Amino acid sequence: MPAYQGSNQQVNRNVTEFLRLAALDEEDLRVISACIQDAVVRVADIDFPAAPGRLLIVVNRFAWEKEAAGSKDRPERRRSVLQFDRVRSVARNGIDPARPDTVLSLLAITFHPDDTPSGTIELHFSGGPGLRLEVECIEARLTDLGSAWETEHRPVHPE
């Protein structure tokens, strides 16, 4: 199960400064998906691997954990790295590396088991683009890189 690290304070009372989450199973991956929902990423910040093994994505994630803790502060974004290990292959759908300044909004990360523990991790972006990772097993990390900055825009999802 992922754990908040970086502060000895209780998470339900005070939000920790930085998220450092790890996912080793489908339930853990759902937690990372919830924390990274509405992250924005430039195509240039997706490190498409020349060889299988690892995929790194640098994102500006919306700090949903502050919202969940009832923070009255202005909404924030944080620079974070989403890392996937044990990646056998990466397929792109609607994402063109030749257009590095394209900005994508990450909606969700899902896992589809194949021959457990292997399977497919899918990253779903707004408007239809996606990434499909064939993995030996789930091994993912979400790590904040630095301080937050205020944003005027809070993501909204129609019910």
Task: Read off the pLDDT of residues 79-110 as tens digits, 9 standing for 90 and up.
Answer: 999 999 999 999 999 999 999 999 999 999 99
Q: Which stretches of the chain drop beneath a pLDDT of 70?
A: 1-16, 72, 159
With CA atoms as reference, report the closest residue to 39 among 159, 145, 139: 145
According to the model, what pLDDT value does residue 16 have? 55
Q: Would you list the DSSP string of the chain?
A: -----S-SS-TTTS--SS-EEEESSHHHHHHHHHHHTTEEEEGGGEE--SSTEEEEEEEEEE-HHHHHTT--SPPEEEEEEEEEEEEEEEEEES--TT-TT-EEEEEEEEEEESSTT-EEEEEEETTS-EEEEEESS--EEEEEEEEEEE-S-------
How is the chain split into domains, by residue range? 39-146
Name which of 121, 103, 102 is nearest 111 in CA terms.
121
Place of tokens 């900055």: 149
Instruction: Please give the single-letter amino acid code of residue 99.
Output: R
The per-residue pLDDT for 27 is: 97
96 and 43 Cβ atoms separated by less than 8 Å: yes
Measured CA to CA, the distance from residue 46 to residue 43 in angstroms comes to 5
* Residues whose CB is less than 8 angstroms from the CB of residue 68 and which lie 6 or more positions away in sequence, other chains included: none
pLDDT digits 0-9 by tens, 54-63: 999 999 999 9
Integer CA distances (angstroms), 154 to 74, 120, 141, in order? 9, 30, 24
